Structure 1
Amino acid sequence: MEKIMTFEGFSKVDLRVGTIVEVNDFPEARNPSYQILIDFGPLGIKKSSAQITTLYSKEELLDRQIVAVVNFAKKQIGKFMSECLVIGAVDNKDVYLLSPEVRVKNGSTVV
């Protein structure tokens, strides 16, 4: 283990399930990326940039449920404002999106 975190520290991370409702190319990004809009139900729709173009087509991503951190500070990426961080497992340089095993309500918390 490299870094130790307390339960109190982890409890500050707001992980939620959302459904991808729009996917666009992001040609201005340094690395190949998509701009995605994610519906988090009662939290609304949030934007994110994700470097997931090697494993996922835009069509595959539409209506897919994912897990994201929704309480990070917004981050400006070129002219795009990212509002959440999509969570994935990294294997070499490929990112595999994390998602619930079954469909759940948008905005559901991840514990």
Structure 2
Amino acid sequence: MNQSITFEDFTKVDLRVGTILEVNDFPKARKPAYQLTIDFGDLGIRKTSAQITTLYEKEDLLQKQVVAVVNFANKQIANFMSECLVLGAVRGKDVMLLNPENKIKNGTAVL
């Protein structure tokens, strides 16, 4: 376990639900990854990359809802600008995306 944080620290992380609209291969990434375009409703459309190629095919990700941190500073990854961080449970090289059990409005906050 990492260092403990306060509830105030946690409230600084803006977690939201979004729907994946587009999935592309990311050949310039150091590790196998996809480039994702995600709709966060009123927050707009954001792009990110995700190392989720071992468990997910591109076509299975379309219209899938995911949970992401939307208030990170943008990060350059190879020739691509990442605008959010999709959350997943990590087991070895596999990353399983976190997602709501039922469909929910894009942009809904996760607490």
* Match of residue 49 from structure 1: 49
Q: Is the 8 A contact 2:54 2:93 kept in 1?
A: no
* Match of residue 82 from structure 2: 82
Q: How does 1:1-111 map to 2 (within 5 A)?
A: 1-111=1-111
For 1:85 and 1:54, how far apart are their aligned partners in 2?
18
SS in 1 for 2:9: helix
Shift of 1:2: 3.0
Tell me the matched-pair count: 111
TM-score by length of 2: 0.98
For 2:62 and 2:29, how far apart are their aligned partners in 1?
20
1:14-63 per-position Cα deviation (integer Å, ceiling 9, x unaligned): 00000000000000000000000000000000000000000000000000
SS in 1 for 2:102: coil
SS in 2 for 1:10: helix
Identical aligned residues as a percent: 69
SS in 1 for 2:21: strand
Shift of 1:78: 1.1
For 2:77 and 2:89, how far apart are their aligned partners in 1?
22
For 1:77 and 1:101, how far apart are their aligned partners in 2?
30
| Coordinate RMSD, CA, aligned | 0.6
1:44-90 per-position Cα deviation (integer Å, ceiling 9, x unaligned): 00000000000000000000000000000000011100000000000
Amino acid at match of 1:8: E
Unaligned stretches of 5+ residues in structure 2: none
TM-score by length of 1: 0.98
Shift of 1:91: 1.0
